[in-house]
Structure 1
């Protein structure tokens, strides 16, 4: 076997092995992966494409998944949602999650989980052009599922998301004034969570994070 033939054979074999062992989203983005060590996680998910501190970014079946590794173990998993990348949250929180197979909305998760979500946003007014702000819905699960938390993120870029944000902002601005909104005081007092729930009920989620000690936008 000459060098060219051998090289082509080796490349084909490597590609075959890689394809054969390519992980699925279901294998990587599930509750059993939380708490595993980094070496095991990467044996399933593959080598991360990027790493920033504790956060390691993977591409699985075309979907962007981020694993947060703290103290050597996976503490959080985040997945960006698209029409082709949908998360099955029942694999993390069981019947507290909406049935898989449909786009995830804030209202669907609120209904399946029994409510009790807290809402926040990185910015609603005078946000500048650095990056699109986000709206967050945070849920803390009961003891039955190990107090596991879910953080839904809606990037305020699509028309439905912007309409919902404007509706929420207008209600707060009318009642509390401009400074209340600009200083994001709504993230502190939770007075307008019900209004946020109503405004964002049908808005599709852009990304979801599951784990412990999840943090959204603060005061």
Structure 2
């Protein structure tokens, strides 16, 4: 009987300790984690739910976080945004990021960072049904923030996102023709970045990635 009681108490204590040390999003999705080794990162974030190559996926406080590990160190962090999962980008790029506490939009980040975002997309027309396409806004930070990069992602699902992509697409199609849009030539230049920035200004961001050498759709 004593052994059963001892075992029960030990299990309860272990569960309490695990709960007490459960990481928060703020502890995992922060600039301090960039450049750390994988073992240290996992000591805070926990065991990844799955790994695909260099990308390791974690669930922290119900939020989806992906850590990219290259050369044994965390080079990128990605957070999928929801009403309950919001990013404090000031912990990565200081005053170049909007103040935390409000939903992240392209316009809010543009205003705080001073602009200079480049825009690209998986597809804007005849995208098929394989996966929901996304539009990306990429920013390269200055020396003051260690040249960190920010990649904002907007999945084209909501009415606001679809309306914004439609405005961008319509302007480019009228100016350049159908092939320019269908062949995603807009990813090769930034001739219409200002149009995209205006169209997506108030659209909520659905995911944000921060790190170095971030990849977005190219030519």
- TM-score category, normalised to shorter length: over 0.9
Shift of 1:147: 0.4
Q: Partner residue of 2:67? A: 67
Shift of 1:12: 1.6
Shift of 1:5: 3.4
Distance 1:178 1:119 in 2: 19
Residues 126-168 of structure 1, C-alpha deviations (whole Å, 9 max, x = no match): 1000110000000000011110000000000011000000111
Residues 163-209 of structure 1, C-alpha deviations (whole Å, 9 max, x = no match): 00011101111111111101000000211101000100000000000
Unaligned runs of 5+ in 1: none
Q: Secondary structure at the match of 2:86?
A: coil
Distance 1:182 1:2 in 2: 73
Matched, 1:52 2:59: no
Distance 1:3 1:16 in 2: 20
Q: Secondary structure at the match of 1:189?
A: coil
Distance 2:135 2:197 in 1: 11
Matched, 1:160 2:165: no
> TM-score by structure 2 length?
0.98
Matched, 1:193 2:197: no
Note the 1:1-219 alignment, pairs <5 A.
Answer: 1-2=1-2, 4-219=4-219
Shift of 1:6: 3.9
Aligned length: 219
Shift of 1:4: 4.2
Q: Which runs of 4+ in 1 moved over 6 A?
A: none
Shift of 1:64: 0.5
Unaligned runs of 5+ in 2: none
Instruction: Supply the RMSD in Å over aligned alpha carbons.
Output: 1.0
